[in-house]
Amino acid sequence: MVNKTNFVELVKKFFYKITSSATTLYLTTLGIFIISFGFIFISPSIIGSSYSYENTPIDEYQTLSNNVQIALVKKEFNPENGIMRLDYSLKESSTNSSLSNIQYDISNQDIKNRESQKSEVIRVNDNYLVVIVKDLPKDFGVLSSTINPSYIHPEIQSSNDLENRSLKIYINEDEKIVNKNLENKSSSEYQSEYITFQQESLREEIVLKNKEIEAIHIKNKELKELISDLETDINFQTDEEKLETKSAINAQLTSINQHEKEMKEIEDEIENIREKIVLLDEKKKTIK
């Protein structure tokens, strides 16, 4: 027979066990969560792996300021001497040039080893930068490059739109960027290479303009076929229908003439670009 006192003691023990079990479960769960989070956070440092970083594509311009855009146009790595070369092209969307008033602080970090890399920024001209990263390990994994632009004389700008601006890019280790002949070069060699870069860009522009001409040729061919069909139909039309058809033919002829003028303008532009390429060859010869 359980008396009242024993019953109360049994109840107290029962709830103590429940409370103790709940506390233990809570603390165990919390401990597992903390350990798991800590392992995830520090594991790259322990086992030498790195998180996934999106590789910055070539020739894609990104906004650096209200008027200035920048693109990574070349990336090469020589695992034999630990040199990586990163080339940047800059362009403006405004005729009010500010590129000559911009300086660039570029820092590079080997993410895998959490180490800053020695680097050199070569200003080939206002539109082109070459960054040489030195002593990069063969298995660097991912290189993080941060570009911090600033105005040399912010007081002459209408607004300091570069304040607190920065751009981060990532270079993933890849056999495609390996160049075992890569080495640091002289300023004149980089200038000569920049002219070659300009010429390649101009040749690509010619390719695009030739495609424009081809597209216009196709339009005119279709219009001429339409005119031929209309001229055939006109022999079997009433006088009123013939007037409408002649009006349609004249409209197509006007379009063809306009297209031919457009092609002539594009052809002239191509000729000017070719002349520019030749002049750049002459400029290259003057570099010492």
CB 173 within 8 A of CB 140: yes
Domain made up of 62-184: CATH architecture: Sandwich (2.60)
Two tokens, residue 92: 């403006």
What pLDDT sits at residue 96?
Answer: 75
Bridge partner list, 128: 89, 125
Two tokens, residue 148: 């911090």
Strands (E), the chain: 62-63, 68-78, 83-92, 102-110, 115-117, 119-125, 128-133, 142-151, 167-172
Q: What tens-digit pLDDT sequence spans the chain (288 residues)?
A: 545 555 446 545 544 554 555 555 555 555 555 555 444 444 444 444 445 688 999 999 999 988 899 999 999 999 999 999 999 999 998 777 889 999 999 999 998 888 899 999 999 999 999 999 999 999 899 999 999 999 999 998 888 999 989 999 999 999 999 999 999 999 999 999 999 999 999 999 999 999 999 999 999 999 999 999 999 999 999 999 999 999 999 999 999 999 999 999 999 999 999 999 999 999 999 997
- Report the C-alpha gap between 223 and 215 in whole angstroms: 13
Identity of the amino acid at 114: R
Angle value at C-alpha 62, between 83 and 161, nearest 5 degrees: 110
Neighbouring C-beta atoms of residue 267, cutoff 10 Å: 13
Two tokens, residue 195: 């002219």
CB 107 within 8 A of CB 145: yes
- Report the C-alpha gap between 52 and 34 in whole angstroms: 23
What pLDDT sits at residue 29?
Answer: 57
DSSP 236: G
Phi and psi based region of residue 52 (left: phi greater than 0; alpha: psi -120 to 50; beta: remaining): beta
DSSP 54: P
What pLDDT sits at residue 34?
Answer: 54
CB 146 within 8 A of CB 126: no
What pLDDT sits at residue 54?
Answer: 87
Q: Cα dihedral angle (58, 64, 67, 71), rounded to 10 degrees?
A: -10
Q: Report domain extents, the chain.
A: 1-49, 62-184, 190-286
What would you report as the CA-atom Rg of the chain, rounded to the nearest whole angstrom? 34
What pLDDT sits at residue 112?
Answer: 83
Bridge partner list, 86: 75, 131
Among candidates 80, 79, 98, which has minimal Cα distance to 90? 98
Q: Can you list the pairs that 196-204 forms with residues at least 24 positions away whose Cβ atoms lie under 8 Å? A: 196/284, 197/73, 197/74, 197/87, 197/89, 197/128, 198/280, 199/277, 199/280, 199/281, 202/273, 202/276, 202/277, 202/280, 203/277
Among candidates 264, 276, 263, which has minimal Cα distance to 203? 276
CA atoms within 13 A on the CB side of 286: 6
Alpha helices in the chain (DSSP H): 4-47, 187-233, 239-286
